[in-house]
Amino acid sequence: MNKAKAKVAKAKTKKVLNVAITYCILIVVAFIFFFPCLWLILASFSKSGSIYSFDGFFPSEYGFDAFKSLFTDTVMYNYPKWFLNTLFIAVMSCLFGTLLTILTAYCMSRFRFKSRKAMMKATLLLGMFPSFMGTIAVYLIMTQFNLINQQWGLILIYSAQAPMGYMVQKGFFDTIPYSIDEAARIDGASNFTVFVKFILPLSKPMLVYTALTSFTWPWSDFILPKMLLIDKDLYTVAVGLMSLGETEFARFAAGSIFIAIPIIVLYFCLVKYMINGMAAGAVKE
């Protein structure tokens, strides 16, 4: 009788110990992840601009100076203009990129043509090379087209790059049963009608996902805008912030925080919609 009780007690302590250790590890890891963000947020509230006036890790004085000068001092560093540039480029890339990605994914999923398998393999292979490798080529091509120092050049590159990641969308389209296409076709729908009236309404979560990824990539990209944009007025936030001097670290931090806020808000709103969409748009299996 006692032996059984001892066994139960032992199991209980074991469980508690497990939970405790797990939580400890999680807290440590979370701290490691979160600390840089925390530090950046604190740095953005520092009163003096430079990083050298910090008291050890953290700023010595706190104030809203950095945020104020971000928006008011637009002579050298025109932050609001950069913000609007970034917004424009991201929204346009999002629109065109989503359109191209969805169409590519639909074709790869629904149509059978001779070079389909070859194309899929080629895309997969090419996608393995880092995009950085192509920057010189991109620069030369853009020079030929006179698209250097123009925002539409950037939008063109981002929209064209987006469909390389069509795999996820294609996978989603594959889960929509082909018999819906067939039933619609027998009812008299053309390919385009099937796409617009049936596939798109059923893929709302995937549309949101595609739009989100096509939006965030141009939003925070640095290499391409740095290479293609020359005028300070056309800079995106990423390039603009890097052009700040060494002494302006607080402003840099403030700019980084500010640019991240819209993305965070967007994610929070749309994630709920994506999850709801996936459960509600149930298709008969």
**Interacting residue ranges for other proteins, rule: CB under 8 A:** 177, 179-180, 182-189, 193, 198, 201-202, 281-285
* Cβ–Cβ under 8 Å, residues 173 and 203: yes
- What count of Cα atoms within 13 Å lies in the side-chain half-sphere of residue 239? 21
260: phi then psi, degrees, rounded to nearest 5: -80, -25
Q: Which position has the token pair 């796409």?
A: 195
Q: How far is the CB of 138 from other proteins (least distance, A)?
A: 40
Residue 190, Cα to own-chain centre: how many angstroms? 34
User: Which CB, 34 or 178, lies closer to other proteins?
Assistant: 178
The letter for the amino acid at 157 is I
Q: How far is the CB of 202 from other proteins (least distance, A)?
A: 6
- Mention every residue, 6+ apart, whose C-beta is less than 8 A from residue 156: 147
Q: How far is the CB of 188 from other proteins (least distance, A)?
A: 3
Q: How far is the CB of 114 from other proteins (least distance, A)?
A: 11
User: Which CB, 108 or 184, lies closer to other proteins?
Assistant: 184
Instruction: Give the residue ranges of DSSP H helices in 229-280.
Output: 237-242, 249-280
User: Which CB, 171 or 201, lies closer to other proteins?
Assistant: 201
Q: How far is the CB of 192 from other proteins (least distance, A)?
A: 12
User: Which CB, 13 or 179, lies closer to other proteins?
Assistant: 179
Q: How far is the CB of 206 from other proteins (least distance, A)?
A: 14
The letter for the amino acid at 148 is I
User: Which CB, 153 or 277, lies closer to other proteins?
Assistant: 277
The letter for the amino acid at 45 is F
115: phi then psi, degrees, rounded to nearest 5: -95, 15
CA 281 – CA 257 distance, rounded (Å): 36
User: Which CB, 183 or 242, lies closer to other proteins?
Assistant: 183
